[in-house]
């Protein structure tokens, strides 16, 4: 009992220390201008100047693209592994594959993405190398697709666990009313597992937001290259997604003392913004899951 309390307190203390340290070093650099202006070249003395608008937007782009692919694939895979699992040999292969994806370093996915999406017939997903005709494989679309792979396993596992908590008598009641298996899954199982599904999605979002290797390799790490003027217009969004860019993690690396930007204050500020984003997402998960559970228990 004492060891469990000590472990929990140590974990909470570590997180509190980290957040406090980031807040102490970064809060002075976080301002409205910091959040709404693009990074700009600085000098050897001042380092990178400007704000983090483009990296913030880039993080949003890859999260939306990654979750758009990982969510349906993850939920569908979890439903197969829990509700069907036939043929059994194929289910075992799928189960093992999910575990393997969980353990693969993201830089391996980045190199795989370069190899796969560099084919000449996939230039519509990124740009084209003028000398060879091959695709550059550097774009928000390509990076989002590969980031979907690292978001996929937590969505699968969280959804699996949630589906297994749905009581069997609810399924049996649906079958007794003449409902088919697919209808039962759609009307009974998935709604009952919604809190776990939301948790898996948020975990996937956290993995996407926090990744650096894929963002550097498949986005080009172009922190100082501004997005095209008017990128938010519908007729420009496709070209923007096919282009290179940056995320908060690549900005932090660039602006850190170990990076070319060498502006520790701005790196701390961006890291604080990233940490707050993750904490807010976790809070949303707990809030939504708690509300769903209360509603389910009151029925």
The CATH number linked to 149 is 1.10.3720.10
User: Domain of 184?
Assistant: 51-298
Please give the Cα distance from 168 to 157 (Å, whole number). 19
Residue 142 domain flag? yes
Quickly tell me which residue has 């282009």 as its tokens: 243
| Measured torsion, CA atoms of residues 70, 76, 81, 83, in degrees rounded to the nearest 10 | 150
pLDDT tens string 243-292? 888 899 999 988 888 777 778 888 889 998 888 877 776 677 667 655 55
pLDDT tens string 174-214? 888 888 888 899 888 988 888 888 889 888 988 998 888 99
* Interval 113-141 mean pLDDT: 88
- pLDDT score, position 62: 92
Structure tokens that stand for 255 in this block: 């602006």
Stronger pLDDT, 231 or 137, i.e. the higher one: 137
Residue 242 domain flag? yes
Are 253 and 242 spatial neighbours (Cβ–Cβ below 8 Å)?
no
- pLDDT score, position 94: 94
Neighbours of 215 (CB within 10 A): 31
Residue 36 domain flag? no
pLDDT tens string 133-147? 889 889 999 999 999
- pLDDT score, position 43: 60
Residue 2 domain flag? no
Please give the Cα distance from 54 to 47 (Å, whole number). 18
- pLDDT score, position 37: 86
Q: How confident is the model at residue 235 (pLDDT cuts 50, 70, 90)?
A: confident
- Which neighbouring-strand residues pair with 50? 39
- The 8-class DSSP code of residue 135 comes to B
- pLDDT score, position 297: 45
Residue 5 domain flag? no
Residue 56 domain flag? yes
Residue 7 domain flag? no
* Interval 91-120 mean pLDDT: 91
User: What are the φ and ψ backbone dihedral angles of 235, each rounded to 5 degrees?
Assistant: -80, -5
Please give the Cα distance from 17 to 158 (Å, whole number). 28
Look up the pTM and report it: 0.87
Nearest to 127 by CA among 116, 115, 141: 141
Nearest to 267 by CA among 248, 281, 246: 248
- Which neighbouring-strand residues pair with 135? 128
Structural domains in the chain (count): 1
Please give the Cα distance from 237 to 140 (Å, whole number). 11
Are 71 and 255 spatial neighbours (Cβ–Cβ below 8 Å)?
no
- The 8-class DSSP code of residue 104 comes to S
Structure tokens that stand for 196 in this block: 């776990």
Residue 268 domain flag? yes
Sign of CA dihedral 108, 111, 115, 117: positive
């Amino acid at each position: 009992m004492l060891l469990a309390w000590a472990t929990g307190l140590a974990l909470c203390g570590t997180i509190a220390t980290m957040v406090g340290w980031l807040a102490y070093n970064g809060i002075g650099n976080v301002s409205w201008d910091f959040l709404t202006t693009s990074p700009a070249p600085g000098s050897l003395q001042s380092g990178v100047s400007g704000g983090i608008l483009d990296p913030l937007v880039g993080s949003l782009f890859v999260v939306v693209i990654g979750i758009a692919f990982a969510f349906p694939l993850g939920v569908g895979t979890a439903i197969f592994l829990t509700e069907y699992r036939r043929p059994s040999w194929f289910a075992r292969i799928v189960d093992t594959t999910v575990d393997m994806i969980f353990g693969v370093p993201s830089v391996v996915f980045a190199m795989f993405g370069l190899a796969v999406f560099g084919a000449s017939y996939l230039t519509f997903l990124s740009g084209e190398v003028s000398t060879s005709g091959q695709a550059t494989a550097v774009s928000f679309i390509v990076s989002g697709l590969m980031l979907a792979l690292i978001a996929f396993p937590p969505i699968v596992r969280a959804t699996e666990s949630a589906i297994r908590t749905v009581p069997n008598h609810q399924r049996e009641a649906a079958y007794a009313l003449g409902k088919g298996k697919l209808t039962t899954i759609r009307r009974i199982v998935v709604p009952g597992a919604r809190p776990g599904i939301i948790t898996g999605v948020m975990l996937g979002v956290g993995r996407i937001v926090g990744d650096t290797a894929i963002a550097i390799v498949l986005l080009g790490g172009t922190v100082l290259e501004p997005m095209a003027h008017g990128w938010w217009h519908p007729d420009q969004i496709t070209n923007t997604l096919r282009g290179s860019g940056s995320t908060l993690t690549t900005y932090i690396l660039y602006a850190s003392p170990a990076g070319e930007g060498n502006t520790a204050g701005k790196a701390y500020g961006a890291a604080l913004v990233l940490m707050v984003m993750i904490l807010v997402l976790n809070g949303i998960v707990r809030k939504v899951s708690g509300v769903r559970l209360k509603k389910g228990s009151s029925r």
